[in-house]
Amino acid sequence: MGFFKKEKKGTEQQGIEQQNIEIKGDKEKIHCKLSLYENINIVKEILKDCGDVIYKDFAIGKNQNLKFTIIYIDGMSDNEILLNGILRPLMLHSREIPPEVPKSGDKLYDLVRYGTIIASEMDETTDINKAILSILIGDTVLFIDGIDKIIIIGTKGWPTRSVEEPSTETVIRGPRDGFVETIRMNTALVRRRIRDPRLKLKQMQIGRRSQTDIGIFYIEDIVKQELLDEVIRRMETIDIDAVLDSGYIEQLIEDNPYSPFPQIIATERPDEVAGELYEGRVVVLVDNSPFALIIPTTLNSLYQSPEDYYDRWIIATILRFIRIFSSFLALILPSLYVVFTSFHTGVLPTKLVLSIAASREGVPFPAVIEAFIMEFTLELLREAGLRLPAAIGNTISIVGGLIIGEAAVRAGIVSPIKVIIVALTAIASFANPSYNVSVGFRLLRFALIAASGMLGLYGLMLGLILIIVHLIKLKSFDIPYFSPLAAFIPSEFKDTLYRAPLFNMIKRPLSTAVNEIRMKNNRNAIKDKEGEKDND
């Protein structure tokens, strides 16, 4: 498999090849024959009716008696390598070799394999099935008449999107590159940030038909071995037709499929991936998906943005407070409206109650129904705006936000205060760095509205308790979801509700990492220098 050659470095090589053999064990081996004709017929039989497969026969040698065939898929192979790396040396340069040299088959083979073809990735096999798989992933396969070995030449090259700024997790300060759909580019983006031979990449292929490449990244002496084993064990249990996105993997290996909260984060940012790797987490990259999976995930990590670590700690802490508060607001604000307008009006100051009551005058629905109508409208607008092309999306927001909001109030269906509440809820729910978790909270908001509509403040409290208990119950790869707040780990508290100054975060998080110390506190060293200056 020439495909994997790029990653082969040192001890890693062994692991990868073993992995490949294990995964494809279910396909039986078809042994390569001596006759070129027979081999090509086998390949043609398997790849019947595949119009994009190109068979190029050619003959070289003085008497044109050495027959070759290369097979590749049009559009998936790099024409440059194909022409200048394979065809040109074979057809032109080979003429410079005296005809008597390649008499025996083995010599000819060695000459072609090691001396003639100009390509950085090459491999050989005797298995036709393996050769076909290589063709399907964009490599070129060379059959030689009279030799029962197949040369695989790495020629993968197809049109890809270039590295762009990720659209979901934008930052103001921080790198702008984001993952793309090709796993190789993604692994390169990660490796650029971790120049450490202990950064390992385990490769496997999942999907019986799609044979999607999966890369499992981890840093050897930081990751917990049992976590890594568990991730690999769960990945190996997957038996599915096709994996089209990392979302498939996420859903198939998560702990609690019935929870509205994501137990694995998906990120588009290589810098976040690198950061998580340095904390001992395992990252799964899936070909054709710009989203990497970070395992394990806690609720706390969903509130961390990579930017938190690039900004100064005071700013990062305040931003984090705002995020947590906004999530809380998005969850309970509509319910609080219901509770305080229809159950416990006495809690609010009299003037406020009066203004609410005045604004609700003429509204035909009870506060619960009003809340449901408006929150549902908000979700509708959001979904409509998301799916439409950008040009029409703006229209939707104008129609929805301005016309419906204004007209609904004028028509007396909802009160203006409710519109304010809805707007606040919407803004608050968008102020979360993780899209997934905000969706979870947004959905639960409806349950809370229903609970507080039935039982008032008591119902709201019970609802909140149930949500908290649910979050507490969740585990992601044996790490409690509420960790490190519960189970409370004091040393990890520095990166939760607040973000401690970088020089204080000396240890890696204990729950995920093995190798504890990550940095030296350099504050004193800096101060010493200043002291010296003063003395001078």
Partner 1 sequence: MIKDNDIISPFQITAITIMTLVGVGIFSLPRSLADVAGTNSIIMILIGGIISLLAMSVIVTLNCRFPRKALPDYSGEIMGKIPAKILIFIYIIYFTVFIGYETRVMGEAVKLFLLSNTPLEVTMLSIILACTYAVRGGVECIGRAMEVFFPFLFIPMILIMLPGITDADFSNLLPVFYGLPSKFFKALPTMALSFSGYELLLFYVGFMKKPKKAYTYAAVGIIIVTIFYVIITVLCFSMFSVKVVKGMIWPLLSYVRSVNLPGLFIERLDGVMLGIWVFAVYTTMVSLYFALTYSLSRLLGTKEQKQYALIMVPFIYLASVIPQNFAQVDKMPVYLIEYTGSILLYVVPPLLLFIAWIRKKGGTNK
d(CA 153, CA 302): 43
Which of residues 230, 252, 355, 515 is near partner 1 by CB under 8 A? 230
Of the listed pieces 2-10, 120-128, 173-181, 474-482, which binds partner 1 according to CB under 8 A?
474-482
Nearest to 445 by CA among 470, 464, 465: 464
Residue 7 CB: number of other CB atoms within 10 A?
17
Answer yes or no whether residue 357 interacts with partner 1 by CB under 8 A.
no
Residue 528 binding partner 1, by CB under 8 A: no
Of 341, 336, 382, the closest CA to residue 358 belongs to 341
Q: What angle do CA 26, 216, 187 make, to 5 degrees?
A: 115
Which residues does residue 294 pair with via DSSP β-bridges, in sequence order? 265, 283
User: Per CB under 8 A, does 456 bind partner 1?
Assistant: yes
Task: Kindly state the number of chain residues that form the binding site for partner 1, as judged by CB under 8 A.
Answer: 34
Integer Cα distance of 166 and 434 in angstroms: 13
Return the SS3 of 168.
coil
252 binds partner 1 (CB under 8 A): no
Q: Which of 29, 62, 473, 529 binds partner 1 (CB under 8 A)?
A: 473
Is residue 431 a contact point for partner 1 (CB under 8 A)?
Answer: no
Which lies closer to partner 1 via its Cβ, residue 147 or residue 460?
460
What is the C-alpha separation between 151 and 363, in angstroms, rounded? 78
Taking the complex as a whole, how short is the minimal distance between the CB of residue 357 and partner 1, in angstroms?
15
Residue-wise over 289-327: b if at least 16 C-beta within 10 A, else e?
Answer: bbbbbbbbbbbbbbbbbbbbbebebeebbebbeebbebb
Count of other CB atoms within 10 angstroms of residue 411: 9
Q: Which stretch binds partner 1 (CB under 8 A): 264-272, 338-346, 384-392, 503-511?
A: 338-346
Query: Dihedral sign, CA of 155, 156, 157, 163?
Result: negative
Member of 6, 470, 507, 518 binding partner 1 (CB under 8 A): 470
For residues 397 and 390, give the distance between their C-alpha atoms in angstroms, rounded to a whole number: 11
Smallest distance, partner 1 to C-beta of residue 485, A: 6
CB of residue 325 vs partner 1: minimum separation in angstroms? 14
The reply to whether 458 sits near partner 1 by the rule CB under 8 A is: yes
Phi, psi angle pair for 466, to nearest 5°:
-65, -40
Report the residue from 275, 290, 480, 509 that binds partner 1 according to the rule CB under 8 A: 480
Both structure tokens of 309: 């670590």
Q: Which is nearer to partner 1, 40 or 437 (by Cβ)?
A: 437
Q: Kindly indicate which of the ranges 183-191, 382-390, 391-399, 466-474 contains the residues binding partner 1, using the contact rule CB under 8 A.
A: 466-474
Q: Does 349 bind partner 1 (CB under 8 A)?
A: yes
Q: Which two tokens stand for residue 113?
A: 């394999």
Residue 229 touching partner 1 (CB under 8 A): yes
Nearest to partner 1 of 140, 425 (CB atom): 425
Closest distance of CB 16 from partner 1, Å: 23
Beta carbon of residue 229, minimum distance to partner 1 (angstroms, whole number): 7
DSSP state for residue 98 in the 8-state scheme: -
State yes or no: residue 159 binds partner 1 (CB under 8 A): no
Whichever of 205 and 483 has its CB closer to partner 1, that residue is 483
Q: Label residues 358-369 b or e (16+ Cβ within 10 Å = b).
A: ebbeebeeebbe
Phi, psi of 452 (to 5 degrees): -75, -25
- If the CB atoms of residues 485 and 500 are measured against partner 1, the closer one turns out to be 485
Least Å from the CB of residue 10 to partner 1: 28
- Residue 487 sits in the site that holds partner 1 (CB under 8 A): yes
User: Which residues here bind partner 1, judged by CB under 8 A?
Assistant: 226-227, 229-230, 343-344, 346-350, 455-462, 465-466, 468-470, 472-473, 477-478, 480, 482, 485-488
